[in-house]
Amino acid sequence: MHAHTAEVRRKRPRHRPACKATVVLCLATTASTVSAFGCDQHNNCNGHGVCSQQDAVCLCYEGWGADSDISLYKAQDCSARVCPSGPAWGDVPTAKYTAHAALECSGMGLCDRDSGVCRCFTGFEGDACQRMACPNNCSGHGRCMSLKNMVNEPNALPLSSNAHEYGGDELATTWDEDRIFGCVCDSSWAVGLKATETQAVEWFGPDCSLRHCPSGNDPAQLQLTPAHPAEKPILTINCEGVATPGVVEKDSEGAEGNLCHVDCSGRGVCDYATGVCQCFNGYYGQNCGTVDVLAVYDGQAD
């Protein structure tokens, strides 16, 4: 009996391990689950993308996190908007002449993920915060212009008699040509370095909020008797040969007949908020250019 039992045991067929069948069953079950549910766990991509059934991931549309979108954050279920991008205002250069890589909101604003609109930091504007804003919108006394456009404006400072161009290489040397903006202030008189032009703009300051007072020659100088009959009185508004502030070019000096601007003729204090002179005692007129020993102003009398 024992011998027969041993023979039966030796002839009993071997079965495949149950664990292998289990593995196959598990794999089949997982695959069928992914196929059945698709992108349900991603809320079916929220209507802003298509589902890749093979791996159950959302392929978002542009503006909602597509591969082509530039953003530091992309929602896997396509539920968050992406904002416009522009050259970064500040980043690490990637080569000797390569910098300002594209960045969401140009790195000068925060993206509203609900609307896809950049909320720019103070001083920046544009759909991607890609340009500087002019202070106080130039106070209503100037025009907000880019570097490229202001370079040949007669009122733009510093003055220069040379014609210049700025632009044409936005990826390198002139990257800021249409990004940096500033105020070109208004003036009721001609500004420049030529004859009859004045080397000062009527409205001035970064936001054009200040106003020069009327100009004139110093009346005290005009009253001086020349040491020699051939000598002429000193004209304080004569800017012939005078270089415009901030420029060292020879061609940026005033031509014959060019005018300097002397607020209140040098005989009063200019209120730059109003452009009105407060003359010293003994002088009067809009530009304090008239002498009168009887002219006394409140707060100045001895």
User: How far is it, in rounded angstroms, from Cα 102 to Cα 120?
Assistant: 16
Q: What torsion, rounded to 10 degrees, do the Cα atoms 165, 171, 173, 178 define?
A: 50
Question: What stretches in the chain show pLDDT beneath 70?
Answer: 1-37, 223-234, 248-250, 298-302
Domain that holds residue 92: 53-129
How far from 11 is each of 4, 6, 7, 8, 143, CA to CA, in Å? 11, 9, 6, 5, 102
Peptide bond into 158 cis (omega under 30): yes
* Per-residue pLDDT, 202: 97
* Per-residue pLDDT, 250: 65
Residue 82 resides in a domain? yes
Mean pLDDT of the chain: 84
Number of domains in the chain: 1
Closest Cα partner for 205 from 272, 276, 122? 272
* Per-residue pLDDT, 169: 87
Question: pTM for the complete prediction?
Answer: 0.73
Residue 89 resides in a domain? yes
* Per-residue pLDDT, 206: 96
* Per-residue pLDDT, 122: 96
Residue 88 resides in a domain? yes
Residue 222 resides in a domain? no
* Per-residue pLDDT, 132: 96
Q: Is 166 exposed, middle or buried (0-12, 13-18, 19+ CB in 10 A)?
A: middle
Closest Cα partner for 97 from 147, 171, 167? 171
* Per-residue pLDDT, 263: 96
Residue 116 resides in a domain? yes
* Per-residue pLDDT, 19: 40
- Read off the tokens for 25: 């069953």
Residue 77 resides in a domain? yes
Q: Within a 13 Å sphere around the CA of 19, how many CA atoms are in the beta-carbon half?
A: 0
* Per-residue pLDDT, 233: 54
- Read off the tokens for 161: 């008699």
